[in-house]
Structure 1
Amino acid sequence: MNIRKSMGMLLCLCSLAATAQEAWDIDRCMAYAVEHNRTVKQRKLESDNYRLDKIEAIGQFLPGVSGSVSAQYSYGRSVDPETNTYISQSTFNNGYAMEGSMPIFQGGSLINQVRRARANELLGKAALQEAKDNTALETFQAYIDALYYYGTTRLAEQKLVESDSLVYKTRRQEALGLKGMADVAQMEAQQATDAYNLTHQRNLYETAMLTLKQTMNYPVADTLVLDTRLIDTPVIEQVRLSADNADDVFRIALNCNPTLRQSEMNKQVARMNRKISWGSLFPTISIFGGISSSYYKELHQSGYDNFADQMKNNFGSYFGISMSIPIFNRMSGSIGVKQAKNNYLIATQQYEAQKEALQKLVLQAVQDREGFLKESLQMEKKVTSDSIAYRVTRRKFEEGLMTSLDVQNNASTLLESQTGLLQSKLTYVMKCRLVDYYKGEEIIRNEERNATKETQIIAD
């Protein structure tokens, strides 16, 4: 007993030392996790690449300009074009050219490439938002788990304190002849069981905190203090009256769910690829033009114009239009069209499947929200009744009207009810946030994070 009291005082002092640290609520933990998640960072880079692809696709409408410079030194024997005989000479030739070209018609592929790039950009944004939302939801679940095991640990501590008190009173009554050795042994066995359960719950809590830190990408060695007010908040204060049914929520989710948005953009990209494949069967027309000049001199000879004069005299320009007509490309064009059509149909089926899956998730979330609310309200009543029953049974046991087995059964029933209430209450809170998410609301509510908190500490 003295050792346990000393440990309790030590834990109390540790808790007082930790009160200077700010408690982290759910929203702050989710924001931290999103900011430090590596998958989110990758999706940001991928989204930026899609944006650059769109700029590149738009640039295909602009003319392409290229320049070239060449220099050639030749020596040895060569054929004289005037006498048609071999002579030995050394020459230097220098050329300059600049050419530009611009497509006029490519079967509509250019505009469709821009549309595809825009769809990919929206797809990248949806993928980024999905990564953020998934990270936040995973953190939410890990946070709820940590709160749950903190609550069960606190209930186990209270249960052990009750057992310590009963053991002490039973021993005193046994010394006075009011109880037998069997009652003392039964109470001591229950005390040992409660001590083991407390150790077990603490281990589960430490594991849950480790999982939360890993989900947040939070330094494992650092202390993370959580806001535990949610555990002690009555269910009636958490109830959010809403007339939304599953159909209403689903209609909203169709327009704002990032996962479904990705599937829709994949379908749009496949449709643009199909149109681009059709463009490969049409002629392509482009215009081109350029300028060029050159300088030539036979080494060790004189009488050649200088560089400026030759560049002026040899200057030339050209302009033209070209058309390429596909006649036979080993059936790659027709096969590409058929494959693009199949890919579009596949993307369409994936979109419909994703929409059906979303409808099921929304329906399940709404049903769970209502179901866990009813469970929480009923469990609150049950906890109140079981608490009264336990106090009455304990009082009668102390008066010799009840057995130790009756006390143990009522204590176990009360602990089970309290644990069930804690689980259903925390799950209800999570389901409410999930339904709001499907309704288009932000998962992370920054305004709630700035509210005044009553600091409650979990010493890690």
Structure 2
Amino acid sequence: MNKKNLLHITLFLLSGWMGLEATAQEVWDVDRCMSYAVAHNRTVRQRELEADNARMDRMKAIGSFLPGVSASTGLQYNFGRSVDPETNTYNTVSTLNNAYSMEASMPIFRGGGLVNEVRRSKAAWLMGKAAWQEAKDNTALETFQAYIDALYCYGTLRLARKKLVESDSLLYKTRRQEELGLKGLADVAQMEAQQATDSYNLTHQRNLYETALLTLKQKMNFPANDTLQLDTAVLDTQTLHYIQLTQEQADDVFRIALNINPTLRQAELNAKVADMRRKISWADLVPSITLFGGISSSYYKELHSTSYPDFRTQFNNNFGSYVGISMSIPIFNRLSGVTGLRQARNNYRIACEQYESKKEELQKLVLQAVQDREGYLKESIQMEKKVNSDSLAYHVTRRKYEEGLMTSLDVQNNAATLLESETKLLQSKLTYLMKCRLVDYYKGEEIIRGLEETAKKD
């Protein structure tokens, strides 16, 4: 068995073993990685708890409309000189005094402050939910980008491995031809240099892939020491189902994003919260009315006397009730009411400006995503044609080199051109998938779904 056949058998067994190992390991696609990242992201958890706190504030604001009930009791022991409650004179005796009371109060008018507080708390709760959704979306998109970067590094690693196999094969043939007198030592040296370069490039690409995989694990909050086997099926797809998007459709995407984008939704609700606070500040300048009522009773006894009625009799005799209404009129509060109103008005205007700024920023992002999608679509189509042409040119040049009609430098140049084209095609295809997912996200579709469906959806 010659060295060429031995090399082929070794590579075949190695690729088969790697394929079995990859099959045995659990494969993680991009949607599973995004789901894991969202479930284990600490920022997402914080936003969820903040949204729950905002929900509690809303319940508290609704509870402000209900009557407030409080009860109190007290026990007092007096010794020495004290006032007799029956004769209102001073005596030198020891007495025991026990009092009970219960009061309820309910606001009648607060200048619209209670209603606006409920509206403000509801808007704040919705804003908290939008912030929670934004955190989940950003985490998913960042994980998607890290996944695409890892796939790209894995693809370049496969190209580097393929290039090294071809360099090993070509070096072996060149050495055999040199032994037969068909090639010179310069050709062998040139091929050895190219093989060494490809071996270095393979090591370099492997390091880049390990770094990209570690970055993906960090985005996912995945244990760094555990194995993360990526789903690389998309790399084996020869032709993607490209979808073109017209400018009119891009405008429709922006109109949809105006209503569902969580970042813009936060800015809109923040302006509403500021508006409610501006209206609440009016309550400090108008009177407030409160309705209240209650019951009370007491028990009194001289400790060294037995002539007092028992506890039940005194409790019934001293039992009383009352009801009333009170009005509080602000006259002068050291200008805090007027200044608070003006500050609330300015905060509302600031929130409106922030909303308009976010809307303009969102429009730029949507249009940029659409343009990038179209740009990488065209690049991918053109690069597919270029890869086919460069591959044909490389194989023709290699065949002519083996026949002695081309130099080793020609083979190296064509091989480098083919590798560069394949790398650019890989990058444009993966970036196109990323931009498809981003545009669909602006259209209101869920981020976490099947990766291969991204390029097929209209």
Would you call these one fold, judging by a TM-score over 0.5? yes
1:233 has 2:258 as partner: no
Find 1:347's aligned residue among 331, 338, 351. Answer: 351
Q: Which residue of 2 aligns with 1:219?
A: 223
Write the deviation string for residues 31-83 of structure 1: whole angstroms up to 9, x where unpaired: 11111211111111111111111111011001100000111111123466899
Q: Which one is further off, 243-252 or 413-422?
A: 243-252
Deviation at 1:238, TM superposition (A): 2.9
CA contact 2:65–2:106 (8 Å) conserved in 1: yes
Please say if residues 30 and 451 of structure 2, whose CA atoms lie closer than 8 Å, have aligned partners that are also in contact.
Answer: no
SS in structure 2 at match of 1:445: coil
Q: Map of 1:389-400 to 2, 5 A cutoff?
A: 389-400=393-404
CA distance in 2 between partners of 1:206 and 1:191 (Å) = 23
Q: Distance in 2 between matches of 1:84 and 1:297?
A: 14
Q: Is the 8 A contact 2:71 2:102 kept in 1?
A: yes
Counterpart of 1:290?
Answer: 294
Determine if the alignment matches structure 1 residue 249 to structure 2 residue 259. no
2:105 to 101, 108, 120: 101
Partner Cα distance (2:366, 2:427) in 1: 21
Using the alignment, how far apart are the partners of 1:267 and 1:192 within structure 2? Answer: 63
Q: CA RMSD in A?
A: 2.1
Q: Does 1:404 align with 2:428?
A: no
Q: Using the alignment, how far apart are the partners of 1:80 and 1:71 within structure 2?
A: 16
Matched residue of 1:19: which SS?
helix
Q: Distance in 2 between matches of 1:403 and 1:295?
A: 117
In structure 2, the CA distance between the partners of 1:83 and 1:391, relative to structure 1 (3 Å rule), is: closer
Change (3 A) 1:172 1:448: closer
The residue number in structure 2 matching 1:266 is 270
**Residue of structure 2 aligned with 1:205, choices 197, 202, 209:** 209
Query: What residue is the counterpart of 1:153 in the other structure?
Result: 157
Shift in CA distance, 288/400, structure 1 to aligned 2, threshold 3 Å: same
Conserved in 1, the CA contact under 8 Å of 2:78 and 2:94?
Answer: yes
Cα distance change on mapping 1:418 and 1:281 into 2, 3 Å: same
Which residue number corresponds to residue 327 of structure 1?
331
Residue 399 of structure 1 and its aligned partner are, at CA, apart by: 1.6
Please point out which of 358, 361, 365 is paired with 1:361.
Answer: 365
CA distance in 2, matches of 1:4, 1:71: 99
- SS of 2:285's equivalent in the other structure is coil
User: What corresponds to 1:142 in structure 2?
Assistant: 146
Correspondence 1:20 to 2:24: yes
Cα distance in 2 between the residues matched to 1:82 and 1:267: 63
Q: 2:42 aligns with which of 23, 38, 43?
A: 38
Q: Quote the Cα distance in structure 2 between the aligned partners of 1:357 and 1:177.
A: 68
Q: How does 1:426-441 map to 2 (within 5 A)?
A: 426-441=430-445
Deviation at 1:291, TM superposition (A): 0.3
Query: Which residue of structure 1 aligns with residue 285 of structure 2?
Result: 281
Distance 1:342 1:191, change over 3 A: same
- C-alpha separation between the residues in 2 aligned to 1:73 and 1:434? 76
Letter in 2 for 1:240: I
**Residue of structure 2 equivalent to 1:185:** 189
1:376 alignment partner AA: S
Alpha-carbon displacement from aligned partner over 1:322-363 (angstroms, at most 9, x marks no partner): 000000000000000000011001100100000000000000
Point out where structure 2 has 5 or more consecutive residues left out of the alignment. Answer: 454-458
Query: How many angstroms apart in 2 are the aligned matches of 1:203 and 1:82?
Result: 96
Which residue of 2 is the match for residue 416 of structure 1? Answer: 420
- 2:176 matched to which residue of 1? 172
Amino acid in structure 2 at the alignment position of 1:283: P
For residue 168 of structure 1, report the CA deviation from its aligned partner: 0.6
Cα distance in structure 1, aligned partners of 2:316 and 2:87: 29
The one-letter code sitting in structure 2 at the alignment partner of 1:53 is: D
| Range with bigger deviation, 101-110 or 437-446 | 437-446
Q: Deviations over 1:218-250 (max 9, x none)?
A: 222221121111112133x33135445321111
- What TM-score, normalized by structure 1, do the two folds share? 0.93
Shift of 1:17: 3.1
Cα contact 2:37–2:219 (8 A) shared by 1: yes
Query: Which residue, out of 377, 383, 390, partners 1:379?
Result: 383
Other-structure match for 2:456: none
Q: CA offset at residue 87 of structure 1?
A: 4.2
C-alpha change, 1:186 and 1:296, in structure 2 (3 Å) is same
Alpha-carbon contact 2:245-2:370 (below 8 Å) kept: no
Aligned counterpart, 1:91: 95
Q: What amino acid sits opposite 1:286 in the alignment?
A: T
Please say if residues 27 and 448 of structure 1, whose CA atoms lie closer than 8 Å, have aligned partners that are also in contact: no
> Which amino acid is 1:277 matched to?
S
Partner of 1:58: 62
Matches of 1:367 and 1:403, distance apart in 2: 43
Partners of 2:43 and 2:9 in 1: how far apart? 47
Query: 1:319 corresponds to which letter in structure 2?
Result: V
Normalising by structure 2, we get a TM-score of 0.94
Matches of 1:419 and 1:288, distance apart in 2: 79
Correspondent of 2:126 among 122, 128, 132: 122
Give the distance between the partners of 1:267 and 1:13, measured in 2 at CA: 60
